[in-house]
Chain A
Amino acid sequence: MTVTTATINYTREDQRRDEISYGSPVYNSIMTFLIKEARLLDHRDLKAWGEMLAEDLEYKCPVRMTRRVQQFDEEFGTMGHFDDDHDSMMVRIVRLTTTNNAWSEDPASRVRRFITNVSVWETDEPDEYEVSSYLFLTRNRAEAKDYKQLSAERNDRLRMTKDGFKIVKRSILLDQVVLGMPNLAIFL
């Protein structure tokens, strides 16, 4: 494969800058942001969620592979389930919110996004932070008794602006090689 553009667009663990401790003002403001983001998405307020995305957004969710344990850190491929920028994300939002024909989410899924294990690091930019969080997501639709579930680690880059934090980068690292849900018509 000659296409080698890295899908993983965050800093490796051993190259991170200083970690910001749990309970500090910056940490708390980021935690508040992430909880609000999950709430907006769960409530399908996609337009408000769209406002949280930076103009230079990179939103990726690489496919995962099963490798021998020696390659455990090479499990993510160059292809993704998402490979979006700000413009393409806006097209998704317009489709889901302004047409009356977006059937993958009509009737809508009932989704809960549980965000935990939030870590925050400083970056070379004074107003930008790298944030790692765990996502556990349950998705229920129509009269299904059970839930489609998904767990992932998200590696974000957040930028503080005069309008609050914006998501500049998000890499969603799924735990599933074969997704158990039939599509990602929802955002992670």
Chain B
Amino acid sequence: MRLNPRKDFMADAMSRLIDTENREVSVAALNDPDLYELELEQIFAKAWLMIGHETEIPNVGDYVVRLMGEDQVIVSRAADSEVHVSLNVCPHRAMHVCLADSGNARVHKCIYHGWAFRPDGSFIGAPVEKEQMHGNIKTKEQLGLKKARVELFGGLIFATWNHEGPSLDEWLGDMKFYYEMLFDRTENGLEVLGPPQRLTIDANWKTAGEQSACDGFHTLTLHGSVIDIGAMGGESDTEHESAPAMYGINLSGNGHSLRCIPADTSWSLAHGKGDLTPDERLEAFPPPGITKELLPELKKKMSAEQLHVLAKAPPVVGGMFPNMNILFIYSPLRDGTLGSALVLHTIMPKGPHQFEWTTYYFAEKGTPENVKVMMRAAATHGTGTSGIIEQDDSDTWPHMTESAKGVIGRTETLKYQAILGENRPADWPDKAKVYEGFGKDDAQWEWWLAYNRLMTADS
């Protein structure tokens, strides 16, 4: 119990950290132990967090151990074949019940005193029960592992400790319409291409969190090397004006965001100029991750409105508030064809100055096996630990965090003043905030507004 609730103390601080009039955030937000503790309570214990995919645990008893904030949870498929998420803390004496990070177990028995739990978290019993090891003050029903609330979306496992809060549908709001085009668009759905990469970045989690909300400008400089070697289109001498994928449509809702790249841009990068209609292009050049064989499934599962978006400008990168980063991009495969890399990251805080960057690779289940193997290699080459794109990002975020340690540095601000403004093309669905044009700061600012709302929320 805190004698002086941090939240009350911090409510006033938030108004000083975020300047809504000028669209600035104090650099101090990147290095503040009190703020961090509040984030764990107000964001990581309240938000819907993506912690894995159901194809990681296909069989009854399969489990993986994941993080929700700094809390370890057991994500397991129980006897009811459903996915359950339980705190990996023994209710007896706080020992971790599960010591491996993955495996299969019908019973999770704590190695300390032997209390045993089912994959759904329920308490089986303690040894020498007749000697009252767990007493009779609490019932067995009260002695299970603490359960998180779970929802699946496109096989992605979302969990939250907020049992009374919004449903996942409400949490995603209008953006779900767009996320379906990435995660829930075929009959058989996505599958993971193996257990995730995990690494540690010495930076505040929000540096990666806010960048996920469609930071477009950094592509031109931080990822300049990728433009230089010709992997992003445009001419190297005029890259700032002509990197074609800089023009697109950003979407934002509830702090979530996606960036759509016009299909004719992607098409002309890959095939030169053409004059196909959107429908012809969808046939000839399906969105990332959809092979021609999967196109009928896509057309069956998606609404006419969604197919229109996919043909015009499919979503390819972005994030999901608070801590997910999305890249569903075209990528050359090692057989010389143009394929895709389907990548999700989560950003799990490990203190004010550190987070774990977890990387999952996906393919549609209906993808030929040899293509899956090439997609995995392409994703590994571009993103994650050694990715030629993302290794530059992981270099940047620690510097920003370091800047916040200086008493003068922390008086500076992060500025989100490149304003495009809402700007919906006439034929675009009336869903979420829509910003058509050269990618600007609007969606990132919306990320901070969502952050502010959660940090100052009463419950």
Contact = CB atoms under 8 A, between A and B. Distances in A.
Nearest to B222: A103
Interface in B40-96: 55-56, 58
A178 B225 contact: no
B441 interface: no
B388 A92 contact: yes
A95 B229 contact: yes
Given A101-B224, A182-B395, A2 B385 contact: no
Contacts, number: 156
Given A85-B334, A99-B225, A183-B395, A63 B381 contact: no
B356 A178 contact: yes
Nearest to B56: A1
A104 B225 CA distance: 10
Interface residues of A, number: 42
A67 interface: yes
B422 to A, nearest CB: 33
B393 to A, nearest CB: 9
Given A95-B225, A183-B391, A66 B101 contact: yes
B159 interface: no
B193 A65 contact: no
A182 B350 CA distance: 14
A159 B268 CA distance: 42
B57 to A, nearest CB: 10
B249 interface: no
Q: Which applies to chain B's interface (DSSP): helix, strand, loop or mixed?
A: mixed
A180 B101 contact: no
A61 B396 CA distance: 24
B386 interface: yes
Contacts of B224: 99-101
Interface string A82-121: 1111011001101100111111100000000000000000
A26 interface: no
Interface stretch (A10-18, A45-53, A71-79): A71-79
Contacts of A98: 228-229
Interface string B221-255: 11111111100000000000000000000000000
A104 B197 contact: no
Contact of A103 (B99, B197, B227, B392): B392
A56 to B, nearest CB: 12
Contacts of B386: 61, 81-82, 92, 183-185
Interface string A55-70: 0000001010111100
Contacts of A88: 334, 377, 381
Contact of A179 (B199, B228, B376): B199
A100 B239 CA distance: 14
B258 interface: no
A160 interface: no
6 contacts: A2-B365, A68-B103, A88-B334, A95-B388, A99-B229, A179-B197
